[in-house]
A and B are shown apart, each in its own frame.
Chain A
Amino acid sequence: MVNRARRSRSLRRVNYNTPGGENKVRFENKANSPARCGGCGEILKGVPRDVSRLSKTQKRPERPFGGVLCSPCMRSEIKTRVRV
C-alpha cells in the first residue's frame, strides 16, 4: 500500500529498476510550469522555471513589468498610460 502522504497526485511517479532486479516507484515533485504573460498569455522569455537558487537579476528581466508582462505588452501598456 502506498504511503498515505504519497497517494496525492500532486507528486510525480517515476518507475525505476533497482540493482537487485526489482521494479520500484519513486515519488518526485512535479516541474514548475513556465511563467506566462499577464496580457497575452505567452510564455515569458528570460524567466527560468527553477529560480530557487538564482540571484534576483537572473530571475526576471530588469525592466518595468519584468517577469509579469512580455515586452510587446509592456510597450503597449506604457504607451496607453502616456497617451491618456
Chain B
Amino acid sequence: MKVGNLVVKIAGRDAGKRGAILNINGNKALIDGEVRRREVSLSHLEPLHKTISVNENASHEEVVAAFKLDLGLEIKESKTKESKPRPRRVHKIKQKPVKVKKAKVEKKERKVETAKPKAEKKTQTKTKLKEEASAVTT
C-alpha cells in the first residue's frame, strides 16, 4: 500500500466506506475521505487497486477535491451542531395582582317615585262613571 491508494474500511462504524491513504507508519495508516480522518490498522483496510492524486499528509479539503476530480465522488460533510446551553427549568413566580383602589364616587340619590295608592285610582274611576251616568240621564 502507498500514499494515495484507495481503500475500504472493513471494521468499526466506518466499515464499508472509502478512503485514501495519506501516510503509513509501521502497521498503521492515516486515512481520510468518506471515512473519518484517523490512523487505523492496515488489517482493517481492504485495498481497491485505485489511486488518487494526493500528497502525503494532505488536508481534508485537498482529499475531498481529489475525490471529486479523480473519481467524481462528492463527500458529504456531516453538519456539526453548535453547542447550546443546557435548558434549565425556570420556576415561575406568580406575581400577586396589585389592587388599584377605586376613587370613591358619591352615590346618586335615587328619585323616590311616590306611587299613587290604588284605592285612589279606583275612587277616581268610580266618580268618572257616576259623572258619565248623570250626563246620560240629563
Contacts and interface: CB of A to CB of B under 8 A. Distances in A.
Classify the secondary structure of B's interface with A. loop
Classify the secondary structure of A's interface with B. helix
Nearest to B48: A82
Contacts of B16: 64, 78, 81
Interface stretch (B4-12, B58-66, B123-131): B4-12
B11 A71 contact: yes
Interface residues of A, number: 11
Given A79-B10, A82-B8, A74 B46 contact: no
B48 A78 contact: no
A53 interface: no
Contacts of B13: 62-63
Contacts of A79: 10, 46
A78 B12 contact: no
Interface of B: 8, 10-13, 15-16, 46, 48
5 contacts: A75-B11, A75-B15, A78-B10, A78-B15, A79-B46
Given A63-B11, A64-B16, 15 more contacts: A62-B13, A63-B13, A64-B15, A71-B11, A74-B10, A74-B15, A75-B10, A78-B8, A78-B10, A78-B15, A78-B46, A79-B10, A79-B46, A81-B16, A82-B8
